[in-house]
Each structure stands twice: as C-alpha cells, then as structure tokens.
Structure 1
Amino acid sequence: MSLTRRQTATALLALPLALTATPALADGGGGGGRPRPRTLHIAGDSTAAEKTADAAPETGWGMALPFFLAHRLRVANHAVNGRSSKSFIDEGRLTALLDGVRPDDLVLVQFGHNDEKTDDPARGTDPYTTYQEYLRQYVKGARERGARPVLITSVERRRFAADGTARPTHGAYPAAMRALAAQEGVPLIDVQALSLARWQQLGPDGTLPCFLWLEPGESPNYPAGEEDNTHFRPPGAVDVARMTARALLDAGVLAHRDLRRLDDPVPGDWITWDRTA
C-alpha cells in the first residue's frame, strides 16, 4: 500500500522522537539520555585511597588514576587507610562496593600492606591461606555482578640496600596473589614488580619526591616534617597510576580508546584534596 504525501510527512516528523528515546532505554529507562558510564571500583588501602585536605600533600594513586582514563570511564575509589583484605570485608566495605557494581565494570583489588601485620588479628592474614580466601570473595562478588575482577599486587615501599638496590618488602603476599590470579583466571597487574623497577630506576635520592618526605615547615599539615617511605606525594601517586593504567592496557583489560596521557606529563598540581572528612 502506498502512502500519501501527508502520511509520509507525518511519519518523518515522528522519526526523530523515536530515535531520541533510544538512549534513555539503553540507560535502563531512567532518563538522562546517556548510557551509564563504565566504572573502575578500587578496593584497597592507604596507598590507593582518597586523602582529605588535612593530609595533603599525601596522595593515593587512586586519586591520579582518572587523569589516564577516557572521560567516559569513571573511578569509584573505595580504598581506605589501614585496611587489609580481611578488615575491608569484615567492616562491610566490600558489600557496599559491590552494591554499586554493574555489568562490564572493573573491580580493582590491591591489598597486602596491612595483611602483613599478622600481630593484629583484625587485619593480619596468611599469604597462602586466609589472604587467598579473602581475595576469592572479591573475585566471586565481582563476577556475580557481571563485572571483571582485577588483582593488583601491592605497590612497593621505598627501601634500598646499602649499595642502592631497591628491596622488596612484601614477603610472600605478591607471589600468593600471582598464584591465585592464575588459579582463578583473573587478570593480574603486577604493580609490586613494576614499582620496584621504577624505584630502582630513580634511585634513593630520586624517589624522595615520590614519597611523603617533607622538611620541617614545608607543609602546614606536617610542621615537624615527615619521613614516610610508604605513602606518596603527587609525583609518586601519578607514577603508580600511570603504571597501573599502562598495565591494564597491556593485560587487555582496557583498550587504547579507554586511556589517555600514558606518555604525557601530568603535573602534581592537578591533584586536589577534598576538604571534608
């Protein structure tokens, strides 16, 4: 059956309305006209966590990660100071994280610093038993929600031998995570090895700007100065975020279109600290 001119014109006028409704349907019918952005959820400790203004210039690498991601990706940083793979779960933080996870998201898991504190029953784990058992809960929770878990070995501390060789500090925990990743078929980002190589490249003096080493009076938050070989200042956080982003690409977890600035400078003054606790 052929259409009259008036019927054809009416159909054409209605067409844009049908097309503009499509993104809302892709968004689950919730409106807004845009699909939900893919999210990288970070479960971790103080080396990754967001810092408030009263801790500046201390910086977690999770604060710098967005600078290396395409705008359509977002970061939900759930990392908290002092937590281990065990205490993060026991405090209900994994449950809260998973409540926000959607299919195709990533769940980045980096614990180890505080799992090593085996004299603290609230945090300590054994590398090849309880540590792996807790990590499996993150893997299982992510997969149940259609997300992809990614295990990340602990970033190295700043520790050098007398001859200037960068020394590992995490004992058997990185190897235990590597073994678990292989057993479970989970992508592994070996930040422990990558950061150890980076600190070796920079050397004892060259790593000082990366870590929270401050002269007395250099920062109002640390009037007496600070000598911290675990936590970062902005350059160190940027370095670790960059190596993490590049490793996510190399592992096939993210694509080139998901990333930016991998080889470009990211100034430390791009970091901002939230003033709320």
Structure 2
Amino acid sequence: MLSNAGGSVNPPRIFLAGDSDVVTREQSKAPMTGWGQVLHFFFRPEIEIVNCARAGASSRTFSERGRLDWILENIRPGDYLLINFGTNDAKPEKWLRTEAYGDFPYHLRKFVDGARERNAHPVLVTPYERDTYDAHGNLPRSITEYSMAIRDLAIESSVPLIDLHEQSRAWWADMGPDRIRSFFVHVEPLQNPNFPDGFHDPGHLVPDGAIACARYVAYAMAAQQMVPASWVVNVDRADLPPEWVVWLDDDTHAALTRSRTLGSN
C-alpha cells in the first residue's frame, strides 16, 4: 500500500472521516481535543491532514449530509482516507443509530468503495475506548460490537486496520482509574471559562489523550507500511510543546464545517 509520492506532482493528503473523537474542536469547546486535530504533529509538513470529521456524526448521517460526497469530490489518487465511526452509531437515537452487524458495515463500505474507486487508500480505524472505569476499579468495554464489526469489515474487504480500540484499552488498563482522568475532559468549577460550572465527560479527550491516540495512528500507518516511514515524525518525542495544540476560533470552525459538505447542512 506504499504510495509513490515522488512520482506525484501533488503531495499526498490524509483525509479524516469521523465523529467527535477525531474532529478539530473550536475555542469554545477547549480543552476538548479530537485526535485528528493533532495528527499533523506526527507527519512531515508536506503531508496535509484534511480533517473532515464532524461532531455528532454517525457513519450514516456523515454520508446522508453530503460530507462523504465532499471528500470523494476532492480526494485524489494516492491520497488516504481514514475512517473512524462507531461511537454515535451505537447511540439509541434513531436518526443516528446503525446496527453493528446490520447497516453499520453497509455505510462504512461507502467510504471504502468510494476511496478505492478514486485510486485513494482507505484505512479503517476502530474508536478509542472511553473512560469506563466504575466505582470498583473495573474497566468495562463499550461499543465492543462496533469495533468488532470494523475489524470484520477490514478482513472481508482487505482494508488496512488501525485498532485504536484495543490499543487504548491496554493503555487505560495500565494507567488505572486515577491517571486516565488526565486524558479525558474532567473540569472542576471555575477551572475553565468555557465550563464555569465544571464538566466531566468520560468520552472526549483533552490534548494529552488526543496526542496519545494520534501518535499511535501515525505510528501504526508507518509500522504497517501503509505509508513510507520517512513521512512520520515525532512519534518518539515526549516533549511536544503545549502551544502546538490550537483550537479554531468559533466562526472559522463553523465556516469550515459548512464548507466541507455537498449537502444542506
């Protein structure tokens, strides 16, 4: 799956399709951080990351609202499409939900087939595990069926897989319930002006968690020879400057979100 970047006029790009796990967040949501927001830390500057992820999207609504169409209109031969859904697909709301072994793989195949039809490279990514620790220190699994369905589709369709779900579970289990909190949104009252009353969200990441996930995605792409190893940088660097993490101002974020769709919203 190695791409011959040297023979192409345009450097390859990595498109991201996903939900709030992946999305680039706006300033009013800081410190929430999607792993796609920081993925560029781990690639050479000429490798453009085109983050099309949308908070609140499932695999079905992302496609229905024209976001997949926008990607497929803009993606070029030799580009990559990382596909990361499952969190919202598992929710009970009918307008979001898909069934793990029903229409979920059907919708994912639209992403895979669309990329391949344009001579781009699809890559499936399982969603990271949540901070599911209970009061007894147990770490129950969440969205297990959806991660399993992604793995099965990867095998059936011969699509490269980055198993972020299993990797993150191993991390969280090793870290324990207290240390894992530093990876997720746990804001106390008056600690952050965006959440003056405090906010505890065991599903969304802060910079440390997002960087850990992005680092692994980049590492896996090189280790599994999806991309040349020379494209990937900083995966062994522990001292990434905190100021590298930036959030879009809200107006820019809203305009960018509206622009990356061929649908009505």
Q: TM-score, normalised by structure 2?
A: 0.89
The aligned residue for residue 200 of structure 2 is 227
* Residue 121 (structure 1) shift: 2.1
Once the two structures are aligned, what percentage of the paired residues are identical? 36
Tell me, yes or no, if structure 1 residue 177 matches structure 2 residue 179: no
In the alignment, residue 39 of structure 1 is paired with which amino acid? R
Does the aligned pair in 1 maintain the 2:81–2:122 contact within 8 Å? yes
Q: For residues 108-187 of structure 1, what are the structure 2 equivalents within 5 Å?
A: 108-117=82-91, 119-187=92-160
The aligned residue for residue 43 of structure 1 is 17
Q: Alpha-carbon deviations, 1:28-61, whole Å to 9, x = none? A: xxxxxxx322110000000110111111111110
Give the 3-state SS of the residue equivalent to 1:227 in structure 2.
Answer: strand
* Residue 158 (structure 1) shift: 0.5
Tell me, yes or no, if structure 1 residue 103 matches structure 2 residue 77: yes
Query: Which of 81, 90, 109 is the matching residue for 2:55?
Result: 81
Count of residues paired in the alignment: 244
Give the 3-state SS of the residue equivalent to 2:144 in structure 1.
Answer: coil
* Residue 271 (structure 1) shift: 0.5
Query: Which of 256, 270, 273 is the matching residue for 2:229?
Result: 256
Distance 1:201 1:267, change over 3 A: farther
Q: Alpha-carbon deviations, 1:124-175, whole Å to 9, x = none? A: 1111120010000000000011100000011111112445343321131111
Q: TM-score, normalised by structure 1?
A: 0.85
Does the aligned pair in 2 maintain the 1:235–1:268 contact within 8 Å? no
Tell me, yes or no, if structure 1 residue 69 matches structure 2 residue 40: no
Tell me, yes or no, if structure 1 residue 195 matches structure 2 residue 141: no
In the alignment, residue 262 of structure 1 is paired with which amino acid? V
Which one is further off, 184-193 or 243-252? 243-252
User: How far apart, in 2, do the equivalents of 1:201 and 1:63 lie?
Assistant: 25
Which one is further off, 264-273 or 40-49? 264-273
- Identify the structure with bigger relative contact order (alpha carbons < 8 Å, sequence gap 6+): 2
Extract structure 1 runs of 4+ deviating beyond 3 A.
none
Gaps of 5+ in 1: 1-25, 28-34
Does the aligned pair in 1 maintain the 2:218–2:232 contact within 8 Å? yes
Q: Alpha-carbon deviations, 1:79-120, whole Å to 9, x = none? A: 010100000001111001111100111000000000001x32
In the alignment, residue 104 of structure 1 is paired with which amino acid? G
Does the aligned pair in 2 maintain the 1:102–1:146 contact within 8 Å? yes
Distance 1:221 1:162, change over 3 A: closer
The aligned residue for residue 26 of structure 2 is 52
User: How far apart, in 2, do the equivalents of 1:139 and 1:186 lie?
Assistant: 8
* Residue 267 (structure 1) shift: 3.4
Gaps of 5+ in 2: 1-6, 255-265
Does the aligned pair in 2 maintain the 1:114–1:123 contact within 8 Å? yes
The alignment yields a C-alpha RMSD, in angstroms, of 1.3
The aligned residue for residue 20 of structure 1 is none
Q: Alpha-carbon deviations, 1:175-206, whole Å to 9, x = none? A: 11101110000001000001111111221111
Does the aligned pair in 1 maintain the 2:184–2:209 contact within 8 Å? yes
In the alignment, residue 224 of structure 1 is paired with which amino acid? D
User: How far apart, in 2, do the equivalents of 1:160 and 1:245 lie?
Assistant: 27
Does the aligned pair in 1 maintain the 2:223–2:229 contact within 8 Å? no
Q: Name which one, 1 or 2, has greater alpha-carbon Rg.
A: 1
The aligned residue for residue 257 of structure 2 is none
